[in-house]
Amino acid sequence: MKRVVIALAFFFSITSLVAQQKEKPKLVVGIVVDQMRQEYLYRFAPKFGEGGFKRLMNDGFMLKNAHYNYVPTYTGPGHASIYSGSTPAIHGIIGNDWFDKQLKKTVNCVEDSKYKPVGSEEGNGDVAPSRLLTTTITDELKLSTQQKGKVISLSIKDRGAVLPGGHLPDGVYWYDGKSGKFITSDYYRVALPEWMNTFNALNLADQYLSREWKTIFPINQYTESGPDDSPYEGKLKGKEKPVFPYDLKTLRAANGNFDLICATPFGDDLLTEVAKASIDGESLGKDDVTDFLAISYSCPDLIGHAMGPNSIELEDAYLRLDKNLDDLLKKLDKTIGSGQYTVFLTADHAVAENAQYLKDNSIPGDYFKLATVEAGLNEFLQKQFPGKKIIDKIGNDQVFINQDAFGNEPKTAGLDLLIATELISKYLLATPGVAQVYSEATLRQSNYEEKGIKGMVTRGFNSKRSGDIAFVLEPGWMTWGGTTGSTHGSAYTYDTHVPVVFFGFGIKKGSTSNYHTITDIAPTLSVLLKIKFPNGCTGQPISELLD
C-alpha cells in the first residue's frame, strides 16, 4: 500500500510539473530594433517576405499605437524602459551619456571603470549595469526561478546588451569594433564561454567586410524611398556620393576597419548568427525553466543617423533585417519548437525627418546650434554674474548649473540660484526653436502621471541626475551636427511611435489601436511568466493581448 501511495505521489508531482511548464514558454526572445518607426512596418511591407515581420504581425498581436511616454527618446533610456517597465525618472538612465553633477564630468550610461574587457584587451569593456537603479524583467525571471532560468543578452552596442540583461544575467555580449569579435566585461565572467570563442574564431565580420553591399532588389524598385543620390544623406569616407554599390573591402580601411560593419546591414547578419549560436551554446529552452534571450539590432540606428529615414540604404537594411528575422524564427521553430517560445519586437525610439529636407519643402523645422546658444547664454549671464562660470554643461536638452558659483552663504546662494534659473529660462524661451522651459523645482513638484509634453519631461527627469533646467524644442527642430542624416530624442510622435508586436506562446492573434506605452511590455511579460513586476515598474499589462 505504501508503495502505491509513493508511486501516486510521484506521478502527481510529475504531472503537476509538466502542467506548470505548459503554462509558461520555454524561452522568451526580446527583439529591440534600434531606431525603428511603426511606419516602416507599413511602408516596406510590399517587399517583406512572409516569414519575418509579416509572420510576427499576421500570427501575433500588434500594438498600432504604442509610444514612449517620456523624453529623451534615446537608446540607453529606451532599452532600460522596455525591460524595467519604468522611465528615466525611476530607473535612472537619463541618456546615453550625461553630466554627472558630483563627478563634474560626462559619464556613459553603462560605463564602470571597476570592470575590464574580456575577449579583447583593447575593447570597450569597462562596462556594467551599475547605473541602472531598478530591476528588469530579466532580473525578475532570475529571482523567480532561484537563478535557474538563463538570461543571455546580445547586441552590437554595449548599452543595447547591458541594460536588457539587467543585473543577474548569465551572459552579456556586444561587438568590439577593434577586433571584430564579441566581448564582455569581468562584471559578468572572467572568460568567454567556449561556444563564443568558437563563434569568434569564424571571423565572420572579416568575411562580411570583404564583400559588396548592393541592394537585394533592382534599385529602381525601391519606390518606398527617395532617390539614391540625395543631398540629405551622409557619405562614407572614400565615397564621392552616397550611392550604391558599396565596396566594403575598399572602404573599410578609411572607415574604422571592423567598425564599418556597424554602418551596414551585415552587422545585423552577424548578430543573428551569434544569437543562433547562443541558443545552441547555452542550451536555451531545453529544460523545465523558462529562459530569456535579449537581442538588440543596432545597425538600423547607425544607418539611419547617417542616411536618414528616406534613404534606399535604410530600406535595404530593413529588407535584410526581415530576412534575419525569418532565419531566427526558423531556428527557434526547429530548436525550441513552434508555439513553445514567446517573442516580442519593439524599438528603443523612432526617428525625425531630416530638418533640411523639411525646410526645403516649406515645412517648419531647423537646427538648434547648441554651441552658439551656449556661448550666447554664457555672455548674457556675465552681465549679472561677472567673472563667474554659471553653466557647467548643456546636454540632452538640459542645463546643468554650477552650484559652486554662488558661494556658501545659504540665503545669498539660494537667491542667486533662483535669479540664474530665471535668467536662463527667459533667455532660452527667447531663443528660436525653443518651445518650453521647465525648472528642476517645477518638475520635482509635477505629477508623474501628468499628460502632455510637461508630463513626458517629468517622467524623463531624475532629480538626482538630471540638470537644473529642461527645455523642449519646437516640432521639426533638432540638435544635430549637419544637414545630412537625422536624429531622435524629442517628445513628438515621430520619435515616440514605435512598433510593439508579441508572438508565440500565450499570445493570441490580433491588434489594437488603443494607446499603450512602452512601459507596458515588461508587466505584460510578468503576467505571462507568472512572476513579479520589475521593482520600479509603472506600466500596466496589455489586457487586449492577454485576456
Alpha helices (H) in 93-218, listed in sequence order: 137-144, 158-165, 194-200, 204-208
SS3 379: helix
**Among 230, 233, 229, which Cα is nearest to 484's?**
233
Mark whether 134 is an active-site residue. no
* CATH T-level assignment (fold) for domain 369-432+434-473: Gyrase A; domain 2 (3.30.1360)
Q: SS3 sequence, 54-117?
A: HHHHHHCEEECCEECCCCCCCHHHHHHHHHHCCCHHHHCCCCCEEEECCCCEEEECCECCCCCE
Neighbours of 330 (CB within 10 A): 14
SS3 547: coil
Place of cell 510539473: 17
The C-alpha atoms of residue 530 and residue 526 are separated, in whole angstroms, by: 6
Q: Could you tell me which CATH number the domain at 26-354+494-508+535-546 has?
A: 3.40.720.10
Distances (CA, A) of 386 to 281, 378, 381, 418: 63, 10, 8, 17
What is the DSSP track for 391-446? EEEEETTEEEE-GGGG-S-HHHHHHHHHHHHHHHHHHHHTSTTEEEEEEHHHHHTS
Which residues, in sequence order, are CB contacts of 100 under 8 Å at separation 6+?
106, 107, 465
Which of 75, 184, 487, 538 does the annotation list as catalytic? 75
Per-residue pLDDT in tens (0 to 9) along the chain, 547 residues: 444 444 444 343 433 434 444 689 999 999 999 999 999 999 999 999 999 999 999 999 999 999 999 999 999 999 999 999 999 999 999 999 999 999 999 999 999 999 999 999 888 889 999 999 999 999 999 999 999 999 999 999 999 999 999 999 999 999 999 999 999 999 999 999 999 999 999 999 999 999 999 999 999 999 999 999 999 999 999 999 999 999 999 999 999 999 999 999 999 999 999 999 999 999 999 999 999 999 999 999 999 999 999 999 999 999 999 999 999 999 999 999 999 999 999 999 999 999 999 999 999 999 999 999 999 999 999 999 999 999 999 999 999 999 999 877 766 778 889 999 999 999 999 999 999 999 999 999 999 999 999 999 999 999 999 999 999 999 999 998 789 999 999 999 999 999 999 999 999 999 999 999 999 999 999 999 999 999 999 999 999 998 7
pLDDT tens digits for range 422-439: 999 999 999 999 999 999
**Grid coordinates standing for 384?**
549679472
Contact present, 524 and 30 (Cβ < 8 Å):
no
Q: 544 exposed, middle or buried (CB, 10 Å; 0-12, 13-18, 19+)?
A: middle
Q: CA dihedral in degrees (323, 325, 327, 331; nearest 10)?
A: 180
SS3 251: helix
**In angstroms, how far is CA 392 from the centroid of its own chain?**
28
The C-alpha atoms of residue 78 and residue 94 are separated, in whole angstroms, by: 10
Cis peptide bond N-terminal to 245, omega within 30: yes
C-alpha triplet 309, 223, 344: angle, nearest 5°: 50
Give Rg (Cα) of the chain: 24
pLDDT tens digits for range 129-176: 999 999 999 999 999 999 999 999 999 999 999 999 999 999 999 999
The ranges of the chain annotated as CATH 3.40.720.10 are: 26-354+494-508+535-546
